[in-house]
């Protein structure tokens, strides 16, 4: 087909609703770790999520137009005393849809095998048992990777003082 500027061309797009299977790629890698969020200051465990701006004056976490920042701790295990292997700074912005957020995070990991940062995005549903993230790239040992991540609740709830999320990250080059 000869494509020319100024002409319209039909495009077919199919949305099957299936998740891309990173395991099909030859250089597939799986990471597993736990992200620890703290909603209330406690001795030795400072707050990890803070509302920094409110366009409407409504300081509810879920109010559209608000902006929050976060920096969670990444640990090897579900226990809040397990080894720290990284940090996860990011931002969150409530969407107009009830209890959903546009989120981005920089998952910075420092282990013997992994040393670098993954950039991840998600349309977070706060009441869901799990959420899917897209991995759009990274730095260090994660340079030029793509993939996806699934996080599930491992401990706590969004209504408690803390929440621990198990992350399973599937990467390929």
DSSP string, 64-95: TTEEEEEEEEEESSSSTTSPEEEEEEEEEEE-
pLDDT at position 82 is 95
pLDDT tens column, 41-62: 888 888 888 888 988 888 887 7
pTM of the full predicted structure?
Answer: 0.79
Range of the domain at 117: 29-172
Q: How far apart are CA 74 and CA 63, in angstroms?
A: 27
Q: Is residue 152 part of a domain?
A: yes
| Residue 172 contacts residue 145 (beta carbons within 8 Å) | yes
pLDDT at position 18 is 42
pLDDT tens column, 121-157: 998 887 788 999 999 999 999 999 999 999 999 999 7
pLDDT at position 107 is 97
Q: Is residue 90 part of a domain?
A: yes
Q: Is the pLDDT of residue 14 over 70?
A: no
Q: Is residue 66 part of a domain?
A: yes
Q: Is residue 137 part of a domain?
A: yes
Q: Residue 4: is it exposed, middle or buried by C-beta count within 10 angstroms (0-12/13-18/19+)? A: exposed
pLDDT at position 23 is 53
Q: What tokens appear for 152 in the block?
A: 């599930």
Q: Is residue 147 part of a domain?
A: yes
Task: pLDDT band for 10, please (50, 70, 90 cuts).
Answer: very low
Q: How far apart are CA 142 and CA 114, in angstroms?
A: 8
Task: pLDDT band for 13, please (50, 70, 90 cuts).
Answer: very low
Q: What is the CATH number of the domain that holds 152?
A: 2.40.480.10
pLDDT at position 21 is 52
Counting the structural domains of the chain, the total is 1
Share of the chain above pLDDT 70, in %: 84
Residue, of 5 and 76, whose pLDDT is higher = 76
Q: Is the pLDDT of residue 96 over 90?
A: no
Q: Is residue 6 part of a domain?
A: no
Q: Is the pLDDT of residue 118 over 60?
A: yes
Q: Is residue 7 part of a domain?
A: no
Average pLDDT for residues 105-130, to the nearest whole number?
Answer: 92
pLDDT at position 26 is 56
């Amino acid at each position: 087909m000869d494509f020319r500027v100024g002409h319209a061309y039909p495009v077919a797009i199919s949305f099957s609703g299936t998740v891309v299977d990173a395991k099909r790629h030859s250089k597939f890698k799986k990471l597993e770790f736990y992200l620890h969020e703290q909603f209330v200051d406690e001795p030795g465990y400072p707050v990890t999520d803070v509302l920094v701006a409110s366009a409407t004056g409504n300081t509810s976490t879920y109010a559209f137009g608000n902006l929050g920042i976060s920096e969670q701790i990444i640990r090897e295990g579900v226990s809040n005393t397990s080894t720290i292997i990284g940090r996860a700074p990011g931002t969150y912005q409530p969407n107009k849809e009830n209890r959903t957020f546009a989120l981005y995070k920089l998952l910075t990991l420092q282990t013997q095998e992994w040393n670098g940062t993954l950039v991840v995005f998600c349309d977070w549903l706060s009441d869901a048992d799990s959420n899917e993230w897209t991995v759009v790239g990274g730095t260090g040992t994660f340079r030029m990777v793509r993939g996806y991540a699934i996080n599930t609740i491992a401990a706590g709830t969004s209504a408690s003082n803390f929440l621990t999320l198990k992350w399973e990250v599937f990467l390929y080059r």
